[in-house]
Amino acid sequence: MLSVVARVVAMTIKELIQLRRDRLTFGMILGVPVMQLLIFGYAINADPKQLPTVLISQDRGQIERNIVGALERSGYFRIVAQVSGETEAERLVAEGAAAFVVTIPDRFTRDLLRGERPQLLIEADATDPAATSNAVAALSQLPRTALRHDLPGLVAEPGFEVVIHRRYNPEGLSAYNIVPGLLGVILTMTMVLMTSLAVTRETERGTMENLLAMPLNPAEVMAGKVLPYIVIGYIQVAVVLLAARFLFQVPMLGSLGLLTVALLAFLLANLAVGLTFSAIARNQLQAMQMTFFFFLPSILLSGFMFPFRGMPG
């Protein structure tokens, strides 16, 4: 029994010594939780509030102010612009500057006072349903809370109707957001990991020494390392796009040619990160840890896991 303890203690001491020697792993053990805490704590918010909202009001007055006030009080909406036309509003949503467009139609006050239950139109950018769903849910309270103070008893509750349009993704399918996002996740993960391991493997197995002794310069070694992964990257893209189209019924609306060109920049950036890691890492384990270190914040902050709108500006 005593010897079991002695052997376990011997192993434990050896592990601790090795851990201390491997500065990088040691740093990771301390650094990763701190990083996770900071990122999770500050940047990640599954219930994003203060979403940028554009107001189109064709009926200025007290009722408009009440509705805007109620929207802002809910905490989910922040009026960032007031525009006169729909084209302007559309542009702001398409650019991502606004997540909602609130339209108060002409004669809203009149219809309200007549008890005709006018419609308030709210258009939501539903590309990422998770980002806007809570805000949309909060809208159901709007007709009751908006007019409580100014027109108590004057209007039959609910005095107006909220019509919600989910732009870009009317059925609120999360696949529309997840599947294209996966393209980025898969590419980042494989490109960075594969290249960081590819070079480190040569160093670790001693084959790098041989490569350098042969008529081959470092740039040629790197080019030869990166080239196959560019091809693999494009194969992955093709697989994801085909799966998106035929398994998840995600339509491809943009230009395939533009995507192909833009992806090359994305692939090269990731491969460059991988090569950098492989130059710093002394073995494959370290390269893998660095990849993880890079991958974790990049995926957590990309808007793929948690809504981008919830992160601090």
Partner 1 sequence: MTPLAIDVEGLTKRFSGRAVVDKVSLKVPAGEVWGFLGPNGSGKTTTIRMLCGLLKPDGGRGTCLGLDILAEADAIKRQVGYMTQRFSFYEDLTVRENLDFVARLYALPDRRRQVEATMDRVGLASRRSQLAGSLSGGWKQRLALAACMMHAPKLLLLDEPTAGVDPQARREFWAEIHALARDGVTVLVSTHYMDEAERCDRIAYIAYGRLLAVGTVKEVVAGADLSTWIATGPGRDDVARRLARVPGVATAVFGPSLHVSATDPTVLRRAIEPFRGDPRLAWREAEPSLEDVFIHLIESATAAREKAA
211 vs 230, beta carbon nearer partner 1? 211
Residue at 92: amino acid letter: L
* Minimum CB–partner distance for residue 198 and partner 1 (Å): 12
214 vs 265, beta carbon nearer partner 1? 214
The answer to whether 86 touches 40, Cβ cutoff 8 Å, is: no
* Minimum CB–partner distance for residue 281 and partner 1 (Å): 19
58 vs 210, beta carbon nearer partner 1? 210
30 vs 214, beta carbon nearer partner 1? 214
* Minimum CB–partner distance for residue 23 and partner 1 (Å): 18
* Minimum CB–partner distance for residue 278 and partner 1 (Å): 17
207 vs 249, beta carbon nearer partner 1? 207
* Biggest alpha carbon–alpha carbon distance for the chain: 90
Residue at 44: amino acid letter: I
Cα(6)–Cα(20) distance, integer angstroms = 21
* Minimum CB–partner distance for residue 211 and partner 1 (Å): 8
Cα(148)–Cα(66) distance, integer angstroms = 9
Cα(173)–Cα(211) distance, integer angstroms = 51
**Positive or negative, the Cα torsion across 280, 286, 288, 294?**
negative
C-alpha to C-alpha distances, 168 to 149, 184, 232, nearest whole angstrom:
36, 20, 31
**Which residues, 6 or more positions from 148, have their beta carbon under 8 angstroms from its beta carbon?**
none
Cα(255)–Cα(298) distance, integer angstroms = 26
* Minimum CB–partner distance for residue 203 and partner 1 (Å): 11
Contact residues: partner 1, CB under 8 A? 205-210, 212-217
7 vs 205, beta carbon nearer partner 1? 205
